[in-house]
Amino acid sequence: MLKIGIVCYPSVGGSGIVATELGKMLAKKGHEIHFITSSVPFRLDSFYPNIYFHEVEMNHYPVFQYPPYDFTLANKIAEVIESEKLDIIHAHYAIPHAICAILAKQIAKHPVKIVTTLHGTDITVLGIDLSLKKIIEFGIQQSDAVTAVSESLVNQTQEMLDIQKEIQVIYNFVIEDEYSKPFHNSFRERYNINAEEKIIVHISNFRKVKRVEDVVVSFQKILNKTPARLLLVGDGPEYSRMKALTKELGINEKVHFLGKQKDIPMILADADLLLLLSEKESFGLVLLEAMIAGVPCIATEVGGIPEVIEHNETGFIVPLGDTDATAEYAYQLLSNTSTWKQFSEAANQSVYRKFASEKIGSQYEALYERVLGET
Ligand code: GMT
């Protein structure tokens, strides 16, 4: 059994969710897992045997213009490598986590291997920023193994960065059982949504890249065809603008802003359709969450999304910005119960087939074993 340190962002977001769920799954299999983060990962919401949490504490000395978080993190990783005799550090994100892990590996007086997982924003956004490009390349080159969450992200990384490293695709996953608990129509009751009204959901961090505006505009077009409500889940920079937009469009009574929510399976249990109309998305973990819950998705033809959704089989793929096509496909799905059931079932089955948590967990284990076998 291995001793694995996981370095990730602890807050809400796909990379933190994947890192935490992977840690929980590996701990269940008997590995010893050490999370090294600035606060308890939000999915680590209970006591789990074999899981330990090491907090990166920041001291604020007035002499530093900017608190040196990255050094503090590297120092903590080095401390944990030595005290716990870690075999592997699994860093989620090249910047800053892989860099901190590489530094820690050099500091620590105990050998360790570094596995880095690229999640997207580190490459597609930061990779084109010349002020960080070289250090991202260094993080990838110096890791013992690198994975990316989609084929598209591997291609983009190789196109944008000067690297020779092999990057293995290991897809994201969800813990299937969490989405099959019995739920009751809680949202329908709470918001007085009648049986004819379809529930459409969008879940994101409301960054500009998520194009929430396209979701709202598509919803307005859907409303012209069929009665529906839109649940907007999450919070972020675009939140207030979206509130104003729904008022401006006169659809604010049909749109419910739920803010950040923890219980995504419960929300999805009431949903008929999920929209993800982003302009960049290396994978789109929320699509898997919806699909496993039997909620068909309409999403844009960007990044790794076409690897997750099979167009016209498990959901629909639309060109970026095409709100007419989104509304048209939504109507096709929502107006025909047997079509909806067929897509719902196909979406659910494809998660078990292509993204099974057991299979993904084993791929990471095999990778850890492989790097440990290399000298
Ligand atoms: O999309 C974000 O803004 C959050 C970011 C994260 O750190 O969680 O998401 C990235 O990683 C997820 C997990 O691998 C992927 O599902 C998202 O597609 C990816 N986001 C982007 O590529 C924009």
Per-residue pLDDT tens digits for 253-264: 999 999 999 889
Q: Which atom of ligand 1 is nearest to the CA of 283?
A: 18
- Ligand 1 touching residue 14 (CB < 6 A): yes
* CA atoms lying within 13 Å on the CB side of residue 95: 17
Could you give the C-alpha distances from 76 to 53, 92, 159, in angstroms and in order?
12, 16, 34
What residues contact 225, with CB distance under 8 A and at least 6 apart?
327, 330, 331, 335
pLDDT tens, 163-200? 999 999 999 999 999 887 767 767 788 889 999 999 99
Amino acid at position 257, single letter: F
- The per-residue pLDDT for 365 is 98
Give percent of the chain above pLDDT 90: 83
Cβ neighbours around 369 below 10 Å, total: 12
Residue nearest to atom 23 of ligand 1 (CA): 281
286 C-alpha vs ligand 1 centroid, how far in Å?
A: 10
Q: What is the pLDDT of residues 101-134, one digit of tens each?
A: 999 999 999 999 999 999 987 676 666 777 888 9
Q: In the predicted model, is pLDDT for residue 218 greater than 80?
A: yes
- Is 282 close to ligand 1, i.e. is its CB under 6 Å away? yes
The DSSP string of 174-206 is --GGGGSS----HHHHHTT--TTSEEEEEES--
Residue 155 has a CB neighbour count (10 Å cut-off) of 14
Q: What is the pLDDT of residue 127?
A: 62
Residue 147: its H or E element: strand 145-148
**Mutational test site, ligand 1, from 202, 283, 291, 360, max ligand atoms within 8 Å of CB:** 283
> Which ligand 1 atom is the nearest neighbour of the CA of 285?
16
Rounded distance from Cα 360 to ligand 1 centre (Å): 18
- Neighbouring-strand partners of residue 246: none
Kindly state if the Cβ of 172 falls inside 6 Å of ligand 1.
yes
What is the pLDDT at residue 125?
Answer: 66
Residue 176, both tokens: 């299937």
Classify residue 9 by burial, with Cβ atoms within 10 Å: 0-12, 13-18, 19+: buried
Tell me the CA–centroid distance for residue 129 and ligand 1, in Å. 18
Distance CA 258, CA 235 (A): 9
Closest C-alpha to 309, from 178, 219, 333, 318 = 318
Cis peptide, bond prior to residue 96, ω within 30 of zero: yes
- Out of 3.10.310.70, 2.60.120.560, 3.90.1580.10, 3.40.50.2000, which CATH number does the structure's domain 176-354 have? 3.40.50.2000
How far apart CA 18 and CA 58 sit, in angstroms, is 25
In this prediction, residues 59-70 reach a mean pLDDT of 83
| CA of 117, closest atom in ligand 1 | 14
Phi, psi torsion values for 164, nearest 5 degrees: -110, -10
Q: Which residue has its alpha carbon closest to ligand 1 atom 4?
A: 13
Question: What tens digit of pLDDT does each residue of 142-152 get?
Answer: 999 999 999 99
* 32-37 sheet: strands from edge to edge: 51-55, 32-37, 3-7, 88-92, 113-118, 145-148, 167-169
Distance 74 CA to ligand 1 centre (A): 23
CA distances from 293 to 152, 276, 300, 347 (A): 25, 16, 20, 9
Question: Which residue in 357, 356, 361, 352 sits closest to 26, CA to CA?
Answer: 361
In this predicted structure, what is the pLDDT of residue 118?
A: 96
Please indicate whether residue 127, judged by its CB atom, sits closer than 6 Å to ligand 1: no
Residue type, 186: S
DSSP states of 273-291: EEEE--S--SS-HHHHHHH
Cβ-proximal residues to 19 (8 Å cutoff; 6+ apart), any chain:
6, 8, 9, 41, 90, 92, 117
Higher pLDDT, 296 or 46: 296
Question: What distance in angstroms lies between residue 224's CA and the mean position of ligand 1's atoms?
Answer: 32
Say if ligand 1 is within 6 A of residue 117 CB: no
More confident residue, 123 or 372: 372
Which residue carries 């020779």 as its tokens?
A: 164
Q: Which one-letter amino acid corresponds to residue 290?
A: A
State the amino acid at position 310 in one-letter form.
E
**Alpha helix ranges (H) inside the chain:** 14-28, 69-84, 99-107, 121-124, 130-142, 151-160, 186-190, 212-223, 239-248, 264-269, 285-292, 305-308, 323-334, 337-354, 357-373
Pairing mode, if any, of strands 3-7 and 88-92?
parallel
**Does the interface ipTM go beyond 0.95?**
yes
Say whether pLDDT at 47 is over 70: yes
Average pLDDT over all residues of the chain: 94
Q: Which of 7, 15, 167 has the most ligand 1 atoms within 8 A of CB, as the residue to mutate?
A: 15
291-330: pLDDT as tens digits: 999 999 999 999 999 999 999 999 999 999 999 999 999 9
Contacts of 11 (CB under 8 A, 6+ apart): 39, 42
Which residue's alpha carbon is nearest to atom 3 within ligand 1?
205
Measured in angstroms, how far is the CA atom of residue 373 from the centroid of ligand 1?
A: 31
Query: What pLDDT was estimated at residue 49?
Result: 92
Could you say which architecture CATH assigns to the domain 3-173+356-373? 3-Layer(aba) Sandwich (3.40)
Q: Do 3-173+356-373 and 176-354 come out as alike in CATH topology?
A: yes
Determine the residue of 8, 121, 291, 302 to mutate for testing ligand 1's pocket, defined as the one with the most ligand atoms within 8 A of the Cβ atom: 121
Q: 10: which 2 tokens? A: 């602890």
Q: Give the Å distance between the CA of 152 and the centre of ligand 1.
A: 13
Task: Round to whole Å and give the CA distance between 33 and 13.
Answer: 20
pLDDT for 25? 97
Domain residue limits, the chain: 3-173+356-373, 176-354
CA distance 149 to 238: 26
- Each residue's pLDDT tens digit, 227-245: 999 999 999 999 999 999 9
